[in-house]
Amino acid sequence: MMNDLLRVGSRGSELALWQAHWVRDRLQALHRNLTVEVEIIKTTGDRVLDAPLSKIGDKGLFTREIEHALLEGAIDLAVHSLKDLPTELPEGLILGAVTEREDVRDVFIPRPGNTARSLSDLPRGGAVATGSLRRKCQLLRMRPDLRIVDIRGNLSTRYAKLAGSEWEGMVLARAGVVRLGWTDRIGETIDPLLLLPAVGQGALGIEVRADTARVLRYVEGLHHPRSAAATTAERALLHTLEGGCQVPIGTYGRIESDSGGQLVLVLDALVGSLDGTRVVRDSLSGPPEQAADLGARLAHRLLAQGAQSILDEIRSQAPT
């Protein structure tokens, strides 16, 4: 039997390639007649490294060029960190699978040689690096005395910048740190209810053309229903809030068992000001099959409780 070929589009960072190669290996293990090749595609977010994410645009910074290649037929599927994938996909593209979610938590990585291992250990006025407004808001909410430094680049570049700095440390997603084998660099893993994660954090999204049933059949074996339900709720919340990298939004969806043993989807979320002085936070729970509705309802509750004024203020200050 002739081998079938799938071309996978990916960003070129070490972490992105780890993710693409993981998908490649899983697909080839599931389908013995399949050959999978990885194509590297550079995105706007990879090219522009001298400005904060919140200053260079909003949606599709790490996906637009890959999606164009997918629509043009240059690749057959795209592998994204789900947190990078906008909630509105281009016409003709769909989310073919959501992989089983890794650890959703953020971690504190101390500067090499720094004896402080956790956020609570840091001295007053200490500098902590992050490229995320979501983290900045919540870190300042916890520790208003901290100085938050913006940092960009792939994880290896960020670690090199940290090592050559006088910062106390930086905050990253645990999933990426673990995937690169950096567990020994972690000082503290932060409770996800203390520092709410990004939408879709820890999961991979497999994007395909809507009209390619052949590709959909291949990727369905990578789909994880519980992770899909949790992230669907988070993405519906983000979509309703019309948020992106310019807005501090954190959310955490997970499937739990209630007192009667029934599965329930629990969703926490917040919208905050850039300086962390104002935060609107709430939670909802409901049936996992109603994930999208749950996310939208929680978003409307946040808006009614004051998130709308926070979002309006942030957007009025955003670059046009």
Give catalytic status of residue 150 as yes or no. Answer: no
- Number of DSSP helices (H) and strands (E) in the chain, helices first: 10, 13
pLDDT digits (tens, 9 = 90+) for 88-117: 999 999 999 999 999 999 999 999 999 999
CB-based contact 187:169 (threshold 8 Å): yes
How far, in Å, are 117, 230, 302, 314 from residue 318 at the CA level?
A: 35, 30, 21, 6
Q: Which CA distances in Å does 37 have to 14, 23, 25, 76, 212?
A: 16, 11, 10, 10, 17
Q: What does the DSSP 8-state code read for residue 274?
A: T
Could you give the CA distance from residue 277 to residue 175 in angstroms, rounded to a whole number? Answer: 28
Mark the ranges of the chain whose per-residue pLDDT is less than 50: 1, 48-51, 53-54, 56
Collapsed DSSP state (helix, strand, coil) of residue 109: strand
Fold of 4-101+203-223: D-Maltodextrin-Binding Protein; domain 2 (3.40.190)
CATH architecture assignment, domain 231-317: 2-Layer Sandwich (3.30)
Helix axes 225-241 and 291-302, enclosed angle (nearest 10): 30
Closest CA to 240 of 318, 150, 300: 300
pLDDT tens, position by position, 235-244 = 999 999 987 6
Rounded CA-CA distance 7/143 in Å is: 46
- Superfamily of 106-189 according to CATH: Periplasmic binding protein-like II (3.40.190.10)
The answer to whether domain 106-189 and domain 231-317 are alike in fold is no
- Residue 131's closest CA among 146, 156, 153, 111? 153
pLDDT of residue 179: 94
Query: 272-301 burial, b for 16+ CB within 10 Å, e for fewer?
Result: bbbebebbbbbebebebeebbebbbbbbeb
Quick one: pLDDT at residue 181?
95
What pLDDT does 157 receive?
A: 93
User: Where along the chain do its domains lie?
Assistant: 4-101+203-223, 106-189, 231-317
pTM for the predicted model, two decimal places? 0.91
Dihedral in degrees, nearest 10, Cα atoms 203, 204, 209, 211: -60
Distances in Å between the Cα of 260 and the Cα atoms of 159, 171, 229, 256, 264 are 46, 38, 20, 11, 10
Q: Give the active site residue among 25, 50, 76, 84.
A: 84
